[in-house]
Amino acid sequence: MTRYVLIPGADGRAWYWHLVVPELGARGHDVVTVDLPQDESAGLAEYTDAVVRAIGAPTGGELVLVAQSLAGFIAPLVCERVPVDGLILVNPMVPAPGESAGDWWANTGQAKARAAFAVQEGRNPNAAFDVLTDFFHDVPQEVTVEAMTQGEAGPTVAVFTQPWPLGTWPDVPTRCIQGREDRFFPLDFQRRIAGERLGIAVEEMPGGHLLALSRPAELADLICR
C-alpha cells in the first residue's frame, strides 16, 4: 500500500482532490489531503509545516507526494523534512534555486507560451485571465458549480515573494504529469521546463489545468502507474 499525500495548488484547499481521493482508495491506497494556510503571514515554511503535520507518523508503506501547480514550490521542501519515496508533479510550477513564485512567470516565459497556445486553439491571445475559460473549460458543469460555492481562497503574498530556498532538487524520484489541453501551462511549455529544470519528460494525459476535477479516474490511474 502506498500513502499518497495530495497537495493543492494556489487555491490551497484539500477540496480540490475530493474526486481523486475515492479513486485512489478504491485502488487500495491510503490518502492524505492538506488544507494550506490562508493566514496572510504564512509563507513557504508555514505551507511546508502544514503538509508535514498532515503526513503524521510513518505507516511503514511507501510515501508519495502529489503536488498540483503551485505546490511544485512546496513539495520539494517537504522532501527535506520527511523521508519520501516519490514525488509526482501535476501541471506544475517547477522552481529554480532562489526563484520566487512571483518571478517564475517571467523567468519561464509563461505568458508567451499561454498566448501561443491560445492562437493554436483559435482563442484570443490577448484575453485577460478568466477562471472559467482558462481553468474550468473541461470540468463538468456540476463540479464547476460546486467549486464556485467554496468561497474565496488563495495563496498568500509571502508564498509568491519568498525565494525558493533549495540549492538543488531533492534526491527523490520525480514524475511530471501534464494535461494536453492545459491553457495556463501549455504542454510544449511544460515539456521545456521539465526538461531544462528536472531533466525528465512529462507524462501526458487528456485534460486541462484542473485534472483532479475534470478527469479524476484517469489521473488516479496515472498516479498509480
Count of structural domains, the chain: 1
What pLDDT is stored for residue 132 in this prediction? 95
How far apart, in whole angstroms, are the C-alpha atoms of residue 137 and residue 79? 33
What pLDDT is stored for residue 222 in this prediction? 98
Q: What percent of the chain has pLDDT over 70?
A: 100
pLDDT digits (tens, 9 = 90+) for 160-211: 999 999 999 999 999 999 999 999 999 999 999 999 999 999 999 999 999 9
Residue 33 has pLDDT above 80, yes or no: yes
CATH number for the domain spanning 216: value is 3.40.50.1820
What pLDDT is stored for residue 97 in this prediction? 98
Q: By residue range, what is the domain housing residue 25?
A: 2-224
pTM: 0.96
How far lies 85's CA from each of 50, 60, 65, 157, 221, in Å? 19, 11, 8, 31, 18
Cα–Cα nearest to 70, from 136, 162, 144, 202: 162
How far apart, in whole angstroms, are the C-alpha atoms of residue 103 and residue 16? 25
Residue 216 has pLDDT above 80, yes or no: yes
Band of pLDDT at residue 60, cut at 50, 70 and 90:
confident
What pLDDT is stored for residue 38 in this prediction? 87
The answer to whether 90 touches 66, Cβ cutoff 8 Å, is: yes
What average pLDDT does this structure show over 101-125?
Answer: 97
* Chain mean pLDDT for the chain: 96
The answer to whether 188 touches 110, Cβ cutoff 8 Å, is: no
How far apart, in whole angstroms, are the C-alpha atoms of residue 62 and residue 14? 21
Band of pLDDT at residue 152, cut at 50, 70 and 90:
confident
